[in-house]
Amino acid sequence: MHSIIRASAWVAIKLPSGNTRVIQALPNTTISLGKYGSFPANLIIERPFHLTYELQDKRADETYSRLRVVPTSELYAEVFADEESPTCSTPAAGLNEAVITPAEGEEFSVVEIESGKVVARSNREVIDENARQTMTQDEIEVLKKLGNNAGKEVITQLILSHTAIDQKTSFSLAKYKLLKEKKYMRRFQVLPVDVANFSNYQLEERDATKILDMRGEMMGLVGCWGNVHFGGEDVYLDDPQATTEQGHEACTPVQEDLLKGRWLVVDDTGGILVAAMAERMGVLQQDDDAEIDEAKTEEDTEEPEHTSTQAANTAQNGEHKPTTADSNDADIDMLDADAESTASAAQESTATKPPRASKPRASDFAIPYSQTNTITVVHGASQPNLSFLNYWGFDVTSPTHPPHPLLHHLLTLTWLQLLKPELDTSYSTPPLVASERTLVAWKPSRRGNFHRKRRRYARIRHIVDSARAGNFSGLVCASTMDPVSILRHTLPLLAGGAPVAIYSPTLEPLAALSDCFSVSRRTAWTSGSVKEIVDKSVEELESWEGNEEFPLNPTLLLGTSIQTSRARRWQVLPGRTHPLMTERGGANGYVFTAWRAKPAEGRVEAKGKFKRKRTEVEGEGEGDGGVVVGEEGSGGDASASATAETTPAAAEAEA
């Protein structure tokens, strides 16, 4: 979390109208807020977040507005006045309560402003508001041009020139004032662009469908039920020190015992889900102290960014990190030759530069990824769509990337690479080899390409092999794909007890998924009445390819549950506390949660009391987990199957 607004960082500017603008605070630029005015960006850079600023009127000799920090006493002035008024039903905390005793029965009555008399006004008297405003639009424009006192003048004038102001109830007056403030008040607040703020902005003001209508509540639920958290200190594989003449045999194999704290993600929200997870794992942004150090070094020397990667890394924790200059050309063949040549040019520049970073460059087959605390993204298209990560300074498509923690913790692979890696040429084509002599003879750009392809090969090998090794600590999804098909291939990759959290904007796909794990399916599966699975071992059943009746192995998940959460917002004002009248509708959002189970070998019977044995078991058993009232299926007990599922207690009671 940043402590101050950094130069060139993305910030969210909240306007009086309630709208947010997400802009980059570039030094020496003017930030324009439309009708509210504009101000130099340098006035907010390196200032704290969350302060409320007011655009001051331009001074005579200046062409820009200066800013003033609005103290909270001013922000809340009216509320305080309300609280101190004798008719307020909810006096301020901390004030002498003995003094303020609202007369009984008057709490909800309405007060006339001048006399303080209680006169409940009916709505009948309220006529169209515009007809009663004596100021013309031109007059308002003139006042605005004068820009007096950050819009306060305009509002005062508007209220004064309203003919029916004395007929307004205090409620409607407050409303009127709020309306005008939204329009004319020249105030704003600068908020950090973090996952919570940015997703809110995307949801309410931009295209909510792009992030699959994922509200903050859902993000919280998915993160918690997915048990997403810091997955351990970074561990890197040793650099194999492969020479350019060595091919595949020099690659470092995946060491399964080192792989820890890894989450598997299917993300169709454009990267918001990955960002939320990265935030929970502490890899979305560098921590502040490191940032400050870095800012200092950047100030003294104009270093190319990638050398400062190594410097920053060593400063950070002194661990060995085989960072390569372009550690993230992100397995993309950049068709744009332009960018390619700059990339290789950048490499050359590091090679020829006087060695400030004394570390030798890592070999092509060095793996830049940590073995712990990683996010593995499986994507359908040839490239992952994680474009929202740009707001946190990470660009998956950038070949030369400034230092970013996600470079070492975000692994992306396609479904093809996960399921049939041998069909993917970038995985199966052996790496190029060449002797030092031939290399030297090549043009720099060709040499650059050679190294880039070798590096990409090693990276893809590592990503695919480690993903296929499985043992993920959890699965988190927010996808437009069918969850059943996602789980068919990802369930075998999860470690025992690993949580599964699947978000969907609508309930139906999750209901269908949950039905795959219904009690009747599970009972039928374990009781041995499914002919297809009779002779199969547990291992074979883990990767059950599914059929029409059993799309998934129903014993692989435990405690399946679907839930939704909604935060209802309230207005809290003295005497006027109530829930907001309207809120965003649209897709509600649901989360499916479960834990990965490791079924026991062979036939496992649930416990229950058996009144009558049946010759053929058809698995109408009821109950959950341990209790299945089992195979009796007599009329009385089968009654519970009207809803196909009962709680164990109910089942037992019936038995």
Partner 1 sequence: MSSSISPFLELGPRTKANSLAVLHLSRDNLMPVYLQQTSGEHDGYSEGVVVNTRYGSFPHSTMLNVPWGSQIRASKVDTGSRGRKRKRVPGDEADRDNESGADTTTTNPAAAALNANGVKEAVAASSGFIHVLPPTPEIWTTSLPHRTQVVYTPDYSYILHRIRARPGAVVIEAGAGSGSFSHASARAVYNGYPQPDDADKKKKRGRVISFEYHEQRFHKMKQELADHCLDQIVHLTHRDVYKDGFLIEGSRSPEAEAVFLDLPAPWEALPHLSRRKPEGYTGLSEAAGQRKEGEGEWTSPLNPRKSVYICSFSPCIEQVTKTVSAMRRLGWVDIDMVEIANRKYHTVRDRVGLNMPVDRGVNNSARDDGIDGEGVGGGKKGGAVETSAHPWMDGRLVTRGEPEIKTHTSYLVFAILPREWTKEDEEATAKKYPIGEEKQVVGNLDKAARKKERQEQMKKLGNRKTRRKERDEKMAETEG
Q: Give the amino acid at 306.
A: H
**DSSP code at position 481:** S
**CA–CA separation, 548 and 422 (whole Å):** 28
E strand or H helix at 216, and its extent? helix 216-225
At its nearest, how many Å lie between partner 1 and the CB of residue 220? 4
Q: Phi first, then psi: what are they for 438, rounded to 5°? A: -65, -40
Window 411-430: residues binding partner 1 (CB under 8 A): none
User: Total binding residues for partner 1 by CB under 8 A?
Assistant: 154
Burial status of residue 1 (CB atoms within 10 A of its CB: 0-12, 13-18, 19 or more): exposed
Candidate segments 63-71, 132-140, 321-329, 392-400, binder of partner 1 by CB under 8 A: 63-71
**DSSP code at position 507:** S
496 binds partner 1 per the rule CB under 8 A: yes
Window 152-191: residues binding partner 1 (CB under 8 A): 189
At its nearest, how many Å lie between partner 1 and the CB of residue 203? 14
**DSSP code at position 13:** E
Assess contact for 408 and 369: CB atoms under 8 A.
yes
**CA–CA separation, 41 and 619 (whole Å):** 69
482 binds partner 1 per the rule CB under 8 A: no
Beta bridge partners of 20: 14
At its nearest, how many Å lie between partner 1 and the CB of residue 242? 26
Window 605-624: residues binding partner 1 (CB under 8 A): 605-609, 616, 618-620, 623-624
At its nearest, how many Å lie between partner 1 and the CB of residue 515? 5
Between 50 and 437, CB nearer to partner 1: 50
Between 427 and 503, CB nearer to partner 1: 503
β-pairing verdict for 410-414 and 372-379: parallel
Candidate segments 98-106, 152-160, 414-422, 515-523, binder of partner 1 by CB under 8 A: 515-523
Window 517-546: residues binding partner 1 (CB under 8 A): 518, 520-521, 524
At its nearest, how many Å lie between partner 1 and the CB of residue 482? 14
Which residue from 269, 293, 472 is spatially nearest to 379, judged by alpha carbons?
269
Assess contact for 199 and 219: CB atoms under 8 A.
yes
At its nearest, how many Å lie between partner 1 and the CB of residue 524? 6
Which residue from 396, 530, 541 is spatially nearest to 459, judged by alpha carbons?
396
499 binds partner 1 per the rule CB under 8 A: yes
574 binds partner 1 per the rule CB under 8 A: yes
Burial status of residue 357 (CB atoms within 10 A of its CB: 0-12, 13-18, 19 or more): middle
User: Between vectors from CA 108 to CA 102 and to CA 110, what angle results, nearest 5°?
Assistant: 95
451 binds partner 1 per the rule CB under 8 A: no
Between 111 and 494, CB nearer to partner 1: 494
Q: Binder to partner 1 among 116, 179, 647, 653 (CB under 8 A)?
A: 647
Between 217 and 424, CB nearer to partner 1: 217
At its nearest, how many Å lie between partner 1 and the CB of residue 358? 20
**CA–CA separation, 116 and 142 (whole Å):** 35
Candidate segments 28-36, 140-148, 244-252, 485-493, binder of partner 1 by CB under 8 A: 28-36
Window 84-113: residues binding partner 1 (CB under 8 A): 90-96
Q: Binder to partner 1 among 497, 536, 545, 547 (CB under 8 A)?
A: 497
Assess contact for 511 and 484: CB atoms under 8 A.
no
**CA–CA separation, 377 and 584 (whole Å):** 30
Residue 24 CB partners (closer than 8 Å, separation 6+):
8, 9, 10, 11
Q: Binder to partner 1 among 17, 58, 74, 76 (CB under 8 A)?
A: 76
Helices (H), 318-394: 337-352
Burial status of residue 66 (CB atoms within 10 A of its CB: 0-12, 13-18, 19 or more): middle
Between 50 and 145, CB nearer to partner 1: 50
At its nearest, how many Å lie between partner 1 and the CB of residue 80? 7
635-647: b or e for each residue (b if 16 or more CB lie within 10 Å)?
Answer: eebeebeeeeebe
Window 345-404: residues binding partner 1 (CB under 8 A): none
Candidate segments 118-126, 277-285, 419-427, 478-486, binder of partner 1 by CB under 8 A: 277-285
Between 86 and 625, CB nearer to partner 1: 625
**CA–CA separation, 243 and 279 (whole Å):** 37
At its nearest, how many Å lie between partner 1 and the CB of residue 132? 32
Candidate segments 72-80, 140-148, 201-209, 416-424, binder of partner 1 by CB under 8 A: 72-80
Candidate segments 74-82, 246-254, 266-274, 383-391, binder of partner 1 by CB under 8 A: 74-82
Between 134 and 563, CB nearer to partner 1: 563
Q: What is the DSSP string of 197-215?
A: HHHHHHHHTS-GGGGTT--
72 binds partner 1 per the rule CB under 8 A: yes
34 binds partner 1 per the rule CB under 8 A: yes
At its nearest, how many Å lie between partner 1 and the CB of residue 93? 4
At its nearest, how many Å lie between partner 1 and the CB of residue 251? 25
Window 544-573: residues binding partner 1 (CB under 8 A): 549, 555, 558-559, 561-572
203-240: b or e for each residue (b if 16 or more CB lie within 10 Å)?
Answer: beeeebebbbbbbbebbbbbbebbbbbebbebbbbebb
Beta bridge partners of 190: 13
Window 242-261: residues binding partner 1 (CB under 8 A): 260-261
